[in-house]
């Protein structure tokens, strides 16, 4: 399965609780933190909710 790299580039301060919980679910706790996840519809749905706070890049396996 394809992998994606997700990096938090903007702060979670003054964001709605839903967006904070979504960042937590993705494993992003602080600025510039990077996680690698499988490119699944559920992960892409979470990324879509916080797309203005994160950067997404494809990872070559």
Strand partners, 38: 3
Which residue ranges make up each domain of the chain?
3-59
- State yes or no: pLDDT of 60 exceeds 90: no
**pLDDT interval class at 1 (50, 70, 90):** confident
Sign of the CA dihedral running 23, 29, 30, 35: negative
User: Which CATH superfamily includes the segment(s) 3-59?
Assistant: Ribosomal protein L30/L7 (3.30.1390.20)
Look at residue 37 in the predicted model and tell me its pLDDT. 97
Tens of pLDDT, residue by residue over 6-55, are 999 999 999 999 999 999 999 999 999 999 999 999 999 999 999 999 99
């Amino acid at each position: 399965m394809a992998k994606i790299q997700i990096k938090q580039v903007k702060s979670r301060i003054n964001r709605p609780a839903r967006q904070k919980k979504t960042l937590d679910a993705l494993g992003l706790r602080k600025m510039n933190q990077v996680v690698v996840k499988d490119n699944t519809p559920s992960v892409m749905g979470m990324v879509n909710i916080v797309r203005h706070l994160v950067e997404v890049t494809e990872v070559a396996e």
